[in-house]
Structure 1
Amino acid sequence: MKTRITELLGIKYPVIQGGMAWVAEANLAAAVSEAGALGLIGGANAPAEVVRNEIRRAKLRTDKPVGVNVMLLSPHADEVSDVIVEEGVKIVTTGAGNPEKYMNKWKRAGVKVIPVVASVALAKRMERYGADAVVAEGMESGGHIGEQTTMTLVPQIVDAVEIPVIAAGGIGDGRGFAAAFMLGAEAVQMGTRFVVAKESICHENYKQRILNAKDIDSAVTGRSHGHPIRSLRNQMTKEYRKKEEAGASFEELELLTLGSLRNAVVDGDVKNGTVMAGQIAGLIKKEQTCNEIIEEIMSEANRLLKTDYWKGSSYE
């Protein structure tokens, strides 16, 4: 399936793996790219040299395109933005902020810049500043979220900008893929489905928590201080929400979650750690290789969309 996104990024399938902190490292990103989609290395709060090392590790595993997700709130964002140019990375997605200060530098280096946005206003602003595409991410996603759902956000952004739109949030199979395309998206970004990939370094406890999740198992914390985060319910979310409702300060709540994502991903503490996952977790019931995940999604999506549907359209 060809879209403006597959042409822009040089990939076979219009599928992008989310740049998840502690999860999206070189091995997973390379496996996704080898399977014909776009793998991303998650910069998160990592120092620039750590990101550089992951980029080089990925290059040893695949010659297919691999991108980097830059978390703009990171104290190392300036240095990471330089590493991207120095290491010849050609695709960048950004989150948790506005990438305008890096845009000229990246564009001069031939980098395709794709910001993650949660509103029409930000999507239009990113287009004005030269973004090549945007990821319209609904609140169904795991991790940091906005307030709009994928179903409502994607078509409004599609109508508001000329650049391609990638849908994210609540997409985990071919049905979600097809629905996103009906809304006008030209690719999808998925995180939670790839967390449980066989190539994912996530602790087995983390994977099993997702695989055993029910539809009502996600919780949002942090709304009181303007930084809502979606994760799966556990002792930590219970305590956090109790303190939040009691009016705890931002600093007190931050102490509760300090290092908690690493504790869950690396050490497998799914009771007191932060198990970031989207609402789609309840749909995910098996661990597969990245290739199996992508092939299954594309096969189902093609059956639903009917290949003939795209004949003569811009997606052909």
Structure 2
Amino acid sequence: MTTVEQLLGIEYPILQGAMANISTHKLVGPVSEAGGLGIIGACGMSAEQLREEIRLTRAITNKPFGVNLMLQMPNCDELVQVILEEGIGVVTTGAGSPKKYMPIFKEAGIKVIPVIASVKHAIKMEAAGADAVIAEGQEAGGHIGQTSSLSLLPQVVDAVAIPVLGAGGVGDGRSVVAMYALGAQGIQVGTLFLSAEECPISDRYRQFLLDANDTATIVTGRKAKEPVRSLRNSMLEQYAALEEANAPHEELEKLTVGSLARAVHDGDIETGSCMAGEIAGMIGNIRPAKQIIEELFAEAEAVLAKLRIKY
């Protein structure tokens, strides 16, 4: 059986989550250079911005990296053209089906790995020709589904024949082992890479993450069926209260327009959206991306060596 490492040409079976406004060459390059698969988050980019990010990443590493497409973006066709022209080998997708682009991706030899949050969507993506899927549990940061990794992952693994990677809840070696025990053949990690030295987030966002505990996150947008997990702050608590009171969409939108950029670039942790997963409380220090990856898998090996199951 082909491993995730062989499929993608990487050393470690780890993909870096594509975080909008965050997953630029500054993080992607070091992750790929360290043996994982860095992924550029194309959400919000123009075609030329994506091209520039690809070229800046190649200036850092000659190892494989990918691009994430949010398929509801109005300029998706233009971004796909850049991906083809620049010879990208791996595309992850979200917010829709890549079926429209699958023939040209396949012709170009591009591996397509959709992020899914249900068995139904995993089956659809396999039928569309996906090379693998990333099953993301609701523990993850950013846009999420409604099922936890512990329940979602084994059901997806049982439903499809293509490789499944686990995402949502990976914070240390123990959770890596858990993902594999549930049937994953690799992992995707987002929140943990927010603590990478190279991650281009504001210092206040980074410190907010370091100060987080096990109950530090909040999910907003469930009523609108667009749930998002972030670090709790006054703006998001106000949003949740308004949402519970069935406030108009326009009133809710006023609170959050531009909020991710405010957090990432301006360090606004009061009215910004500092997206992060439930493992935020496990993060206590800042390390280079290479060290994060190496220690994550070294911890996993140590856990496996000590694991004893009694019947």
Does the TM-score normalized on the shorter chain lie above 0.5?
A: yes
Q: Give ranges in structure 1 of 5+ residues lacking alignment.
A: 310-316
CA spacing shift, 1:3–1:195, aligned 2, 3 Å:
farther
| Aligned twin of 2:64 | 65
- Which amino acid in structure 2 is aligned with residue 126 of structure 1? M
Determine the structure 2 residue equivalent to 1:49: 48
- Determine whether 1:208 maps to 2:184: no
Structure 2 residue 140 is matched with structure 1 residue 131: no
Determine the C-alpha separation between the residues in 2 that align with 1:77 and 1:180. Answer: 32
Corresponding position of 1:247: 246
Match of 1:305 in 2: 304
Q: Given residue 120 of structure 1, which amino acid in structure 2 is its aligned partner?
A: V
Cα distance in 1 between the residues matched to 2:249 and 2:51: 32
Q: Report the equivalent of 1:198.
A: 197
Count of matched residue positions in the alignment of Structure 1 and Structure 2: 307
Partners of 2:169 and 2:149 lie apart in 1 by 7
| Paired residue secondary structure (2:187) | strand
Partner of residue 11, structure 2: 12
SS of 2:266 mapped into structure 1: coil
CA distance in 2, matches of 1:62, 1:95: 25
SS in 2 for 1:224: coil
Counterpart of 1:118 in structure 2 is: 117
Q: Which aligned pairs between 1:151-300 and structure 2 lie closer than 5 A?
A: 151-300=150-299
Task: Provide the rounded CA distance (Å) in 2 between the counterparts of 1:23 and 1:146.
Answer: 21
- Cα distance in 2, alignment partners of residues 236 and 6 from structure 1: 41
1:91-129 CA deviation, whole Å, 9 max, x = no partner?
A: 000012111111111111110000000011110111111
Provide the rounded CA distance (Å) in 2 between the counterparts of 1:48 and 1:147: 32
Which residue in 1 is equivalent to 2:106?
107
User: Deviation per CA, 1:68-100, whole angstroms, max 9, x where unpaired?
Assistant: 011112222121111111110000000121111
- Distance in 2 separating the partners of 1:276 and 1:245: 21
CA distance in 1, matches of 2:66, 2:144: 21
After superposition, give the CA deviation of every residue in 1:177-211 in whole Å (9 maximum; x if it has no partner): 11000011010101001011000110011111111
C-alpha displacement at 1:271, in angstroms?
Answer: 0.8
CA–CA separation in structure 2 for the residues paired with 1:281 and 1:56: 31
What is the match of residue 147 of structure 2? 148
**Structure 1 CA distance for aligned equivalents of residues 24 and 66 of structure 2:** 11
User: What residue in structure 2 maps to residue 312 of structure 1?
Assistant: none
CA–CA distance in 1 between the matches of 2:253 and 2:75?
Answer: 20
Letter in structure 2 aligned against 1:234: N
Cα deviation 1:261-280 (Å, max 9, x = unaligned): 00000110011100100001
Q: CA deviation at 1:305?
A: 2.5
Supply the AA of the counterpart residue of 1:33.
S
- Aligned partners of 2:123, 2:250: CA distance in 1, in Å? 34
Give the C-alpha shift of residue 3 in structure 1. 6.3
- Give the distance between the partners of 1:76 and 1:262, measured in 2 at CA: 20
Please tell me the residue identity of whatever aligns with 1:254: E
- 1-side partners of 2:254 and 2:49: how far apart? 25
Whichever residue aligns with residue 240 of structure 2, its letter is R
Which AA in structure 1 matches 2:262? N
Which 5+ residue runs of structure 2 have no aligned equivalent?
Answer: none
Q: Would you say the 8 A contact 1:3–1:14 is kept in 2?
A: no
Residue type of the partner of 2:52?
N
Deviation at 1:160, TM superposition (A): 0.7
Amino acid across the alignment from 2:206: K
Q: How far did 1:252 drift? A: 2.1
* 2:250 aligned counterpart, secondary structure: helix
1:251 Cα offset (Å):
2.4
Counterpart residue type for residue 12 of structure 1 = E
Q: Which amino acid in 1 is paired with 2:20?
A: A
**Equivalent position of 1:313 in the other structure:** none
CA contact under 8 A between 1:196 and 1:202: conserved in structure 2? no
Per the normalisation by structure 1, the TM-score is: 0.95
Q: Read off the aligned partner of 2:278 and give its amino acid letter.
A: Q
Shift in Å, 1:249: 1.8
Shift in Å, 1:306? 4.0
Runs of 4 or more consecutive aligned structure 1 residues displaced over 4 Å after TM superposition: none
